[in-house]
Structure 1
Amino acid sequence: MSMFKDIITNRFTVLVCRILIGALFIYASISKIFHPVSFAATFINYNVAPEFIAPLVAVFIPWFEFVFGCMLVLGFRTQTAALGIALLLMGFLVGIGINLARGVQMDCGCFEFFGWRENLDIFTFLRDIVFIALTIPPLISEKHFLAVDVLFRNEGR
């Protein structure tokens, strides 16, 4: 177990996971930020929450994705950002899982920037599990490399 923990808390592992997940969430947020009506419609199609909250979801979720993504890339409040992204992903997994169980055929609404559209399927579900796994190294690591956090603590130098 110690060797596994050493690998996932290695500063380079943490850095790669931080930048990969952070950049991915920045990318995912862009289209949603600029097209909130489209994102609200996608949210409504998931049919997992009351329609009246769709405008709030369409405005706030993309900005959470963007801010947490930037925080991870910069290494600012890294554990908070990793936790925020993990929680978002868990929420996405619930919506995806419910709709897969229902047999619903629909657009995921995950990454629509540059016209990339994908259908909701088991791959989407498994991919989000992998994304959650990639939040674990920055979430559990106490030391961060090439991170703004280092400026506020005497670590990682």
Structure 2
Amino acid sequence: MPHDTASARATSWRDWLSMACRFGLALVWIISGATKITEPVATKQSVAAYELFSQNVSDLIATVLPPVEIALGVLILLGIALRWLGGLSALIFLGFIAGIASAWARGLTIDCGCFGAGGYNEDVTWWTYASEILRDTIFVAMAVITARRPWTKLAVWP
């Protein structure tokens, strides 16, 4: 009997973690996309500041990214294709980490623009980059948990 209680507690703990990751991930995407979509010029400047793409490609990314982020957030919130969208989210966050690391390695001083206006910023330090990478690493972990063990209660199509 004690084994059943321990098993139930473990399942409960995992359910809570999975639920927190699913809804936290949805919130991150919705907030990130909403802050970008309301400031399209600042979003274009943020993407261009990474100096990774031509101006046309940067503008396209800045235009497409906010509605994609909002859509990801809403779909995850609704519980649609959680495993697939969790995996996609992890890949996108890994791309963001690569972009931030690239800017840091190339000596750029930019704010990532992850939650609104970013771009060139003289006040950026090593800690700015490190904390952005750490934050996005936590988001990757949330996405992986959502993909591997999605909390499917209140899900439309898990």
**The TM-score by the shorter chain falls in which range?**
0.7 to 0.9
Does 1:147 pair with 2:147?
no
For residue 29 of structure 1, the aligned residue among 27, 33, 36 is 33
State how far apart, in whole Å, the 2-side matches of 1:143 and 1:72 are.
10
State how far apart, in whole Å, the 2-side matches of 1:13 and 1:90 are.
21
Does 1:19 pair with 2:23?
yes
8 Å CA contact retained: 1:69, 1:81 = no
Deviation digits for residues 35-80 of structure 1, max 9, x if unmatched? 2221111101001122221221111111111111111112111112
State how far apart, in whole Å, the 2-side matches of 1:68 and 1:56 are.
18
SS at match of 2:110: coil
State how far apart, in whole Å, the 2-side matches of 1:136 and 1:36 are.
30
State how far apart, in whole Å, the 2-side matches of 1:80 and 1:36 are.
28
Does 1:103 pair with 2:107?
yes
8 Å CA contact retained: 1:72, 1:78 = yes
* Cα distance, 1:142–1:85 mapped onto 2, change above 3 Å: closer
Q: Tell me the equivalent position of 2:58.
A: 54
Q: Tell me the equivalent position of 2:4.
A: none
What amino acid maps onto 1:121 in structure 2? Answer: Y
For residue 142 of structure 2, the aligned residue among 134, 153, 156 is 134
Poorly superposed stretches of 4+, deviation over 3 Å: 117-120
What amino acid maps onto 1:63 in structure 2? Answer: P
Write out aligned runs for 1:47-126 (5 A): 47-112=51-116, 119=124, 120-126=128-134
SS at match of 2:77: helix
Please say which structure displays the higher CA radius of gyration.
2
Gapped regions of structure 2 (runs ≥ 5)? 1-6
Percent identical: 26
State how far apart, in whole Å, the 2-side matches of 1:149 and 1:141 are.
14
Shift of 1:89: 0.7
SS at match of 1:73: helix
Does 1:40 pair with 2:44?
yes
Q: Tell me the equivalent position of 2:3.
A: none
Gapped regions of structure 1 (runs ≥ 5)? 151-157
The count of corresponding residues between Structure 1 and Structure 2 is: 143
